[in-house]
Amino acid sequence: MPLRLLVVDDSALYRKILSEAASSLPGVETATAPNGAIALSRLAADHYDLVLLDIFMPEKNGPEVLADIRREHPGVAVVMVSGATGRDAEITLGTLSSGAMDFIAKPAAGSMEAGITDLKADISRVLQLLAAKTAKTAPQPVPPAQSAPPAAGASRPSVPPHLDILLIGVSTGGPKALGEILPLLPQNFPVPVVIVQHMPPVFTRSLAEQLDRRCALKVLEAPAGHIPKAGEILIAPGGCHLELFRDPSGALATRFSDAPPVHSCRPSVDVLFESAARCGLRGAVAIILTGMGSDGAEGVRALKNALPVWCIAQNAETCTVYGMPQAVVQAGLDDECLPLEKIGPRLNQLFRAA
């Protein structure tokens, strides 16, 4: 059965580009609507699995149409389509807390062919995300019985006695997850926090600005050559890898890399974590949150091979997509698998005890 997709955009050019990019993918049928009112009437008259929804439209904008869809057609997935400006990014990130499943960026100025290629890749990723979410909500087989707890006297992992940094990797569903965890960290949090959130350029800056308004800690898009400090949360800029290294004075510092994407991602969690593993840290906490794919698992492995690390994976039930944490759990690299609401309090406990 084909997946039915509705493209909603007041621009005839973008309706054509988006619908042609989606229709070129196997198993996808597309329809279009030039405004929110027509989109809602088509949703009422026929079945659609997914809506690609423009942010700015006359009469009723994308966030307003999103609210109507969530109220009237709660089973329909919505992905926002956003231009890469600061205002667009700010509004787009807000829709992720209002029910949008994800967003894709409109092609930047340049080659139309390259833009369409990028759009096909983005829409394909969204379809994979939709499939993953559908599988998550489908009836699941009864899990096998849990293995018995370790016998008395068996060794258990222990939290490192010295913790120098908190590292976080996250993708789809990340703004919501970070928005629940980071505001719980107090102003006197004793180590720097460094995050890779899979996101395009401009959007990571807007994410940092939004989180900064909600957090006791200072949140900023990481600059190159910056020395991470306690009381700061650094978010890797979209479009480049973020690495940690020791500068000539021996201080921990940031730098950017334009190396190829890893797991189709730049920034990559693996790249950040593997760079941290080379920095001679005394100990670290690494967290892998919601996201598609497996980015972060090899980075956690590199960290654990180099230094004492306590790894927390978000559990399946609270993930938007249980991909990245699942890769860590399946590799046996996690020390705890926790629901989202328990991760912030657990961090405060870990770092008070360290």
Which positions are annotated as active-site residues? 171, 198, 295
Contact between 178 and 204 under an 8 Å Cβ cutoff? The reply is no
Rounded to whole angstroms, the Cα distance separating 329 from 335 reads 9
Contact between 210 and 176 under an 8 Å Cβ cutoff? The reply is no
Tell me, what DSSP letter sits at residue 238?
Answer: T
Contact between 42 and 86 under an 8 Å Cβ cutoff? The reply is no
Task: Look up tokens 């995300």; give the residue.
Answer: 129
- Spell out the residues 6+ positions from residue 183 whose beta carbon is closer than 8 angstroms to its own: 211, 214, 215, 216, 344
CA angle 222-336-144, nearest 5°?
A: 135
Contact between 56 and 62 under an 8 Å Cβ cutoff? The reply is yes
SS (H, E, C) 289-312: CCECCCCCHHHHHHHHHHCCEEEE
Task: Look up tokens 């394909």; give the residue.
Answer: 124
